[in-house]
Amino acid sequence: MADQNRPLQVGDTAPSFELATANFDGTVSLADLRGRPFLIGFFRGLHCPFCRRQLEQLAGIEPTLSAAGVKIVAVINTLVERARLYFRHRPTPVTLLCDPDCRTHRAYGVPRAEFPPDGSSEQPDWPYRATMAQFQAARINPTGEFSQPVQPMEANTVLNARDGFELDEADHAIFAKHATQLVGHFLVDQNGTIAWAQMEALDGPDSLCIFPTAAEIIAAVGELGR
């Protein structure tokens, strides 16, 4: 899979992939999905509470999308063994694929922010390059669970504690390597062409963890074939 230097757009061809599944044995590839439309989301690891919430939202609309002939696939940046343990206790109808190296995220052009070293002359270019000060100044409250917007890392810490989610060694390793990976959603038609796409926080870090709503996704699905 080749890295994309921009998110895939409507009309682009979906890149091939084959990834291990978290909620049943084996793998799923693009070839397995061809012939029917599917929604594919690329997420951070299980350490991200907002990603876990989005997976729950996708599970909630799975019957609606399934009735429309659309399969939901979620690619999570987590080792398959860790993901299988987690979802054994939290089953979901969403097909979960594991990509601990974010190779498919990059193939679909989902951005990842980088922080140049101190003293670098490189200028910020969000969402690909940011200063640590820019990130530290961000304030978010995407799900309305806080009384006021908070710094993204604080939000993660508070919600993980509230959820009773304890990061294990595998989670910490993924977080250390891919903490700045953003999230992207793509609707792919039956011919393997991108029909709709939405990226996280393209306009700045204050929009981190704002993902498409159930209504937005259902509306996009309703436009297929029109």
pLDDT tens-digit series, residues 167-201: 999 999 999 999 999 999 999 999 999 999 999 99
Residue at 100 is within a domain? yes
DSSP 157: H
pLDDT digits (tens, 9 = 90+) for 110-152: 999 998 887 788 888 999 999 988 999 999 999 999 999 999 9
> With a threshold of 0.85, does the pTM exceed it?
yes
Residue at 191 is within a domain? yes
Residue at 201 is within a domain? yes
DSSP 188: E
Number of domains in the chain: 1
pLDDT digits (tens, 9 = 90+) for 68-121: 999 999 999 999 999 999 999 999 999 999 999 999 999 999 999 998 887 788
Taking only Cα atoms into account, the Rg of the chain, rounded to an integer number of angstroms, comes to 17
Residue at 121 is within a domain? no
Q: How far apart are CA 206 and CA 137, in angstroms?
A: 9
Q: Are 185 and 198 in contact (CB under 8 A)?
A: yes
Q: How far apart are CA 96 and CA 126, in angstroms?
A: 29
Residue at 71 is within a domain? yes
- For 80, the enclosing helix (H) or strand (E) is helix 80-89
Residue at 11 is within a domain? no
CATH code (residue 57) = 3.40.30.10
Q: How far apart are CA 42 and CA 186, in angstroms?
A: 9
Q: How far apart are CA 52 and CA 175, in angstroms?
A: 15
**Structural domain for 66, as ranges:** 18-111+166-222
Q: How far apart are CA 27 and CA 88, in angstroms?
A: 17
Residue at 157 is within a domain? no
Residue at 12 is within a domain? no
